[in-house]
Structure 1
Amino acid sequence: MFCLSGPPDSRVIVMEDDDVILPCSLGTNQNIEKELFVWKKEGTVPLKVVFMFDDGTYSRGQDEEFKGRVSHFPEQLKHGNASIRMNKTTLEDNGNYTCSFPEMKPTKIFRIELVVGAAPKPSVTNLYQTNDWALLQCDVEGASPKPTVEWWDSTNKTLTSDEPQVTPKGDRFYITVKTTVKKTGFYRCVATQKEIWHQIHKEIYAHFGDRSGTGMMRATIVSVIFGIIGIVVV
């Protein structure tokens, strides 16, 4: 018997909206078509019923949030495989799950940790530019778990940036990071989520060397135009 208070027997990582298989197998090729096995999610009292199979019938007592999203593999039951498929995962599906065979002697219990991640692609903007420098901004919206967000140059060197502005909303994080660059080249905003082994980036190009002042003038004109619009509206 596996101890429920111990670490999970397996860990599964998936991105939100994707489907995932939660593994559970006796590993003995024992036919379980006539057995009772129950999948539950930990963290609530009573535990939420994710899926229940009992001698050919299933879904009895299933919690509403899992109805229509969870299924098993009928052809695999004769091989002792009680794994389930969960469709369109959400961040709310994060957590620990148990797969148990309560009528077996001894009782068999397996524990699986499901990690659902959200990894939106960063958006990058050249906020302001002169002939000598440019202020770049990166926004990562709705990521989970919380990513590390950095600016890199074309040689993968981490640039000095302002302190990240982090706004948590539920399980999601909204992060803004700004940096000032002074050399022509490509720059990348990189979001890294080590917990789910994920990294994604967005690139932007900054060009310097125009001594005519066009860059400064263009920024000034945009600012003035918006200022005029604001006055007219008021």
Structure 2
Amino acid sequence: MTNTLECQRQIDHSDLELLSVCAVSSVPEDFHTASSDQALDAEAGADVILPCAAEPRAVGPEDLTVEWIVLGHEERTDSVHTFKNGRDRNKRQMASYQNRTALFHDELQNGNMSLKLSVVKASDSGDYICVRTSRTGQHYAIVKLTVRVRGSKPEISSDFCEEGWCRLVCESSGWNPKPTADWLDDQQRNLNSEVEKVTLEPEDGYTVKRRLLVAEGGNSTFTCRVSEKDHVVENTFHI
């Protein structure tokens, strides 16, 4: 048996209903899929395949139930996709996933229960659980998906100037995951600045804001750079 990460929900093995607490505890050794500590990254707008596979069993599609659920969303149901009694049954599917999910029906009896998720967006990020139920037993595993979104070009403004000093404000929004912001001088050296402030809106992503105090009339150029891994955007301000 191979241990998986602790979850915010628990699967009731009798009827696949989600309970409020506890954890997914283990995955049988014949169940092969991406583990929770192997993040699957995708760019916003792309189609992705959440991998889920088990050793083939002598089970026809009509005897197989496959349930994909996601943890941590605020909608009343956590269902992403359900296959049961030989067909898709998505009456309980979350509204945000409608018309965006598909199983590979021809591959189910070969143990391939991967889910295709189309046109992914930041709010799709999360821990997905794949549950396979048949007369041979029940198996499950977790896939962690992170959808990366590059935010806006930083906007730079000055919110006050007095006694020879000005405070510059850099702000960029629409990021996922959380970015970092840095102020640089005209030699591309990092400058000491106020601690960045980061906020999150579920549908709009992360917004980062960072302020810098500079001398007024110094004839200098300052750059605000916002980044998250290989996503980098920047803007300059001359004072």
Shift of 1:155: 5.3
Structure 1: which 5+ runs fail to align? 208-234
Q: How does 1:121-140 map to 2 (within 5 A)?
A: 121-125=152-156, 127=158, 136-140=168-172
Shift of 1:142: 3.2
Given the superposition, is the C-alpha separation of residues 60 and 137 from structure 1 closer, same or farther in structure 2, using an over 3 Å criterion?
Answer: closer
Given the superposition, is the C-alpha separation of residues 39 and 166 from structure 1 closer, same or farther in structure 2, using an over 3 Å criterion?
Answer: closer
Other-structure match for 2:102 = 71
Q: Whose radius of gyration is greater, 1 or 2?
A: 1
SS in 1 for 2:113: coil
Q: How does 1:143-158 map to 2 (within 5 A)?
A: 143-153=175-185, 156-158=188-190
> Does the Cα contact within 8 Å between 2:77 and 2:94 map onto a contact in 1?
no
Whose strand proportion is higher, 1 or 2?
A: 2
Mapped to 1, the partners of 2:117 and 2:232 lie a distance apart of: 25
Mapped to 1, the partners of 2:198 and 2:87 lie a distance apart of: 48
Other-structure match for 1:13 = 41
Other-structure match for 1:93 = 124
Q: Does 1:189 align with 2:219?
A: no
Whose helix proportion is higher, 1 or 2?
A: 1
The 10-residue stretch of structure 1 (173-182 or 77-86) with the greater mean CA deviation from structure 2 = 173-182
Given the superposition, is the C-alpha separation of residues 183 and 30 from structure 1 closer, same or farther in structure 2, using an over 3 Å criterion?
Answer: farther
Shift of 1:122: 3.0
Given the superposition, is the C-alpha separation of residues 203 and 42 from structure 1 closer, same or farther in structure 2, using an over 3 Å criterion?
Answer: closer
Mapped to 2, the partners of 1:33 and 1:189 lie a distance apart of: 58
SS in 2 for 1:63: coil
Other-structure match for 1:217 = none
Deviations 1:175-218 (A, max 9, x none): 32233385756x5422233xxx44312142748xxxxxxxxxxx
SS in 2 for 1:102: strand
When normalised by structure 1's length, the TM-score is 0.65
Residue-pair matches, total? 200
When normalised by structure 2's length, the TM-score is 0.64
Given the superposition, is the C-alpha separation of residues 189 and 73 from structure 1 closer, same or farther in structure 2, using an over 3 Å criterion?
Answer: farther
Other-structure match for 1:51 = 81
